[in-house]
A and B are shown apart, each in its own frame.
Chain A
Amino acid sequence: MTFTSFEFLLFFPAVVLLYNIIPQKWRLFYLLAASYVFYAFLQPVYLILLAAVTATTYGFTRWMENVDDDDKKHKIMIWGIVVILLPLFFFKYFNFVDESITSLFQSMGIGITMPTIRWMLPLGISYYTFMAIGYLVDVYNEDVEVEHNVCAVGLFLSFFPIVLSGPIERAGNMFPQIKAMERSKPIDLTSGAKLMLWGYFMKLCVADRLGIYIDAVYSNVAQHNGTSLALAALLFPIQEYGDLGGYSLLAIGAARCFGFKIVPNFNRPFFSTSMSNFWRRWHMSLIKWLTDYIYTPISYALRSKKMWGIVIALLVTFLVSGIWHGAALTVICWGLMQGVLLSIETVFQNKRNNFEEKFKLKKNGLYIFVCCVVVYIIFAFTEIYGMSSSFAEANLIVKKIFTEPGALFIDKTTLSVAVLMTVILFFKDLRDEFFPNKLRCFESKSIVVRFGSYLLICFLILLLGVLNAGQFIYFQF
């Protein structure tokens, strides 16, 4: 059962309805049970893993609570992190490390074959593992109180709207809401439904429509010319935005229907005027997590190295981001590219600020437009490495883009629908970015405009949405 499945359309309203009927004291157990049922629909056997990570997190935080000595607490935290990371390493990275060692031995002429694991990756493991680690570190830093109710920790790590693909939540935001769990207010239900409606539009009409064209080109790189590959490469960031951005809105909207306010994950990323600005708007919950638990400690530890300390911290942070995204050298390379780009920006940040100040460019429309385009193209280029299965494939795409122009491969129906849907998404983001209080549709005071826009989006989803595309891209992480 995923957000785009028929079962979910039955499951979700039923869970919301019952949540509002039962007494408050039962809501925690009820939502925990609903979350486990949701997960069991997808991978029942891995519920054991989810429960084990919950128990481990709970145990280590309670242990830390009973220790006064800071050094000992620190050691407990490190051991907790190691234990929580073990399943992630085992399921996601074991084969990658294993195959790398085997090929290293083979290149040295030693014919050793290491045992491989052919198990399915537990869904959401990267997300709930990071949430558990975040909670452990927050307890150590005294940013949050230790939660004594194991069911609350269980719900924090398994809450069904966010368990599969985030947003990566934090204990400080979730535990107070888990404790409160009042009956849903009308504003929660309407806001949640609107977010979900827009999420479905982004996923089914934008991401999956574009996906048909992009998959057709990328699944046969050898047969397509550079022009078609360039168009696919330029469209891919929009597909990803529609996919994870849409999923995030579905998750945030679903949680909102229970009164939960989940952290945002995207903030109109294609209006970014620099790469650092882009990474404050794209997959924000992951970047915030990486900033707090990887970048800040490293940059603090290396502060005496000044500029180099920051550069090393950035490189390591985005290396971890690459590793988190996938156990493949291309994805790790993609992460390093982001780190290098951000390092260059950081080094020249003051000069850029002074330049913009001198020529009064901060509010210059043309300058902002050019910066947004440049950032978009740079990100689209790095994504060629992020999505390719091998360096050979990525290099072939890049080579063809620059050396093999030709007639564009066009699937007219798919592309025209996809472009129309993208234009709608673009104008909505444009309005939110520059004219947040103008031309409201979902929030209009006029009931005709409001309901007209709901109906239009429902109509577009049913008529032009891809209703059988299957999974979200980010489930694989």
Chain B
Amino acid sequence: MNKNEIIEKLTPIFREVLEMSDLVLADELSANDVDNWTSLTHMLIMTKIEETFGITFKLKELKKLQNVGDMITVLEEKTK
């Protein structure tokens, strides 16, 4: 799956969980930039990504994700 396809699938997940209908995903976007992106919503996002992409994250991988860009890179790897 390429980057654009991944962003297309990620955007509705982020918008739904963070309750922000106009959210635009960018590589640098992180939890520090969005008020509603808390530990709870982070786990909800991860669970939805796992369901949508049919993958599972290891805790080691999750801990290394610093922003949306990192997440897309991991998803590109996992959906090859």
Contact = CB atoms under 8 A, between A and B. Distances in A.
Contacts of B43: 299-300, 303, 306, 309-310
B52 interface: no
B40 A310 contact: yes
A141 interface: yes
Most-contacted residue by chain A among B38, B40, B62 (CB, 10 A): B40
Contacts of A296: 59, 63
The CB with the most chain A CB atoms within 10 A, among B19, B35, B44, is that of: B35
Given A296-B63, A350-B19, A354-B19, A304 B47 contact: yes
A353 B36 contact: yes
Interface residues of B, number: 15
A299 B60 contact: no
B32 interface: no
Contacts of A299: 39, 43
Contacts of A142: 60
Interface string A286-308: 00000000011101100110110
A349 interface: yes
B32 to A, nearest CB: 13
Interface string A320-352: 000000000000000000000000001001100
Contacts of A143: 63
A interface SS class: helix
A296 B60 CA distance: 11
Given A307-B40, A349-B40, A354-B19, A297 B47 contact: no
A350 B16 CA distance: 12
Interface string B22-46: 0000000000000110111101101
A52 to B, nearest CB: 30
Contact of B40 (A297, A304, A346, A354): A346
Given A303-B46, A350-B19, A354-B19, A310 B39 contact: yes
A346 B38 contact: yes
A300 B50 CA distance: 12
Contacts of B38: 346, 349
Given A304-B47, A306-B47, A354-B19, A346 B60 contact: no
A206 B41 CA distance: 40
A352 to B, nearest CB: 10
B31 to A, nearest CB: 13
A307 B41 CA distance: 9
Contacts of A349: 36, 38, 40
Contact of A306 (B36, B39, B44): B44
Contacts of B47: 303-304, 306
Contacts of B19: 350, 354
Contacts of B59: 141, 296-297, 300
Nearest to A304: B47
A141 B46 contact: no
Nearest to A141: B60
A353 B35 contact: yes
A37 B58 CA distance: 43
A36 to B, nearest CB: 34
A339 B40 CA distance: 14
B73 to A, nearest CB: 17
Given A306-B43, A309-B43, A310-B43, A300 B62 contact: yes
Contacts of A353: 35-36
A163 B19 CA distance: 45
Contacts of A310: 39-40, 43
Nearest to B60: A141
Interface string B58-80: 01101100000000000000000
Interface in A255-312: 295-297, 299-300, 303-304, 306-307, 309-310
B70 to A, nearest CB: 15
Nearest to B43: A303
Contacts of B62: 300
A180 to B, nearest CB: 25
Contacts of B44: 306
Contacts of B41: 350
A349 B46 CA distance: 18
Interface of A: 141-143, 295-297, 299-300, 303-304, 306-307, 309-310, 346, 349-350, 353-354, 357
Given A310-B40, A350-B41, 8 more contacts: A295-B39, A299-B39, A300-B43, A304-B47, A309-B43, A310-B39, A349-B38, A353-B36
Nearest 4 A/B pairs, CB to CB: A310-B40, A303-B43, A300-B59, A303-B47
9 contacts: A141-B59, A299-B39, A300-B62, A306-B44, A306-B47, A309-B43, A350-B41, A353-B35, A354-B19
